[in-house]
Structure 1
Amino acid sequence: MDSHSASGRVQTKGRPLALDVSWVLSPLLALPGVARGVVLSRDGLILGGSADLTVEAGERSAAMTSSVLGAARALCDGLSDGVDGEVVDIVISAGSGYYYIAPAGDRAALVVAATGAVNIGSLAYEVQLQVQKLIKALDEASAARVPGARA
């Protein structure tokens, strides 16, 4: 099974994604030290990924990232007595580098893997810029599917 289309975008089960937002990762992948990334829906479905990512790795990463975000939301909500359940970002430090996770509104998120050489401050800044673009793109796609809705 070919996991990539001619444009280098991730495909699932041999079909292109219904909404492929892989473009949101391009500026992040251009940063020194950033290796790959995945864009996912809140329920853990892959919406996009870096070109070198296999379908299986992308789907696994999306599902696990969704679980991590759910656990982080529950933790924040529980420890703040229900006052602060919002997660802005999660940074996982691992032996090989970092995994940076950022929710994109209430419908999506992205995760990038980076080596220890990455400038984590620059990465955080760039991720938040891309998150805002992703939220806007998802809002526009949603409005386009709703009859009579305007962007």
Structure 2
Amino acid sequence: MTTPNARAADGLAWVLTPLLELPGVRHAVIATGDGLVEGSSPELGRASAERVAAMTATLHAAARAFTTSFTEEEAPGLQQTVVESKEGFAIVVPAGQNTSLALFAEPEAQLGNIAYQMQVQVAALARAMAAPARHPDAAATP
């Protein structure tokens, strides 16, 4: 099996590679809360990735509003949103401040394994985003 590489605007697409290697996973996108693409699977065209990112923001906002309507919690702690269709599953999980991870998997995919791996990658992304920026060694500059 070939390892798919993900493309990214900000170098965050490395988060997608382990997910894209899972059986049944077709595509994945890292999206900002306002619907911009931060990274996407290579087989997903740019226009499709942009639509997915926009819909991810919309779906996540709708899920928060939907949960608030039932619970009266103004800021419900969403853990994941799943849309099931005969074509497969769309899964969205929060991935840090103003970021979401969206994935599409085939109907026979193992959702438990995929959900677990999404959380592992979200944790890795959070650690990477929290790490301080590297600065060149002052002694190495001429």
TM-score range normalised by the length of the shorter chain: 0.7 to 0.9
Specify the alignment match of 1:138 in structure 2.
129
Aligned length: 130
How many angstroms apart in 1 are the aligned matches of 2:35 and 2:73?
A: 24
Corresponding residue of 2:34: 43
Structure with the bigger RCO (C-alpha within 8 Å, sep 6+) is 2
Q: Taking structure 1 as reference, are residues 122 and 8 closer, same or farther at Cα in structure 2, changes over 3 Å only?
A: closer
**1:79 Cα deviation (Å)?**
1.6
Matches within 5 A, 1:109-120: 109-120=100-111
Does 1:31 pair with 2:22?
yes
**Secondary structure class of the residue paired with 2:34:** coil
Query: For the Cα contact (< 8 Å) 2:6–2:39, is it kept in 1?
Result: no
Work out which of the residue numbers 6, 9, 15 in structure 1 matches 2:7.
Answer: 9
- Contact 1:28–1:126, Cα closer than 8 Å, also in 2: yes
Runs of 4+ in structure 1 deviating by more than 4 angstroms, as ranges, are none
Structure 2: segments with no counterpart, 5+ residues? 135-142
Q: Distance in 2 between matches of 1:8 and 1:105?
A: 19
Q: Which runs of 5+ in 1 are unaligned?
A: 1-6, 11-16, 146-151
Q: By how many angstroms is 1:137 displaced?
A: 2.2
When Rg is computed on C-alpha atoms for both structures, the one with the higher figure is 2
**Alignment-derived partner of residue 78 in structure 1:** 69
Deviation at 1:9, TM superposition (A): 1.7
Amino acid at match of 2:127: K
CA distance in 2, matches of 1:86, 1:114: 24
In the TM superposition, what is the alpha-carbon distance from 1:106 to its structure 2 partner? Answer: 2.6
What's the TM-score, normalizing by structure 2? 0.84
What do you get for the CA RMSD once the two structures are aligned?
A: 1.8
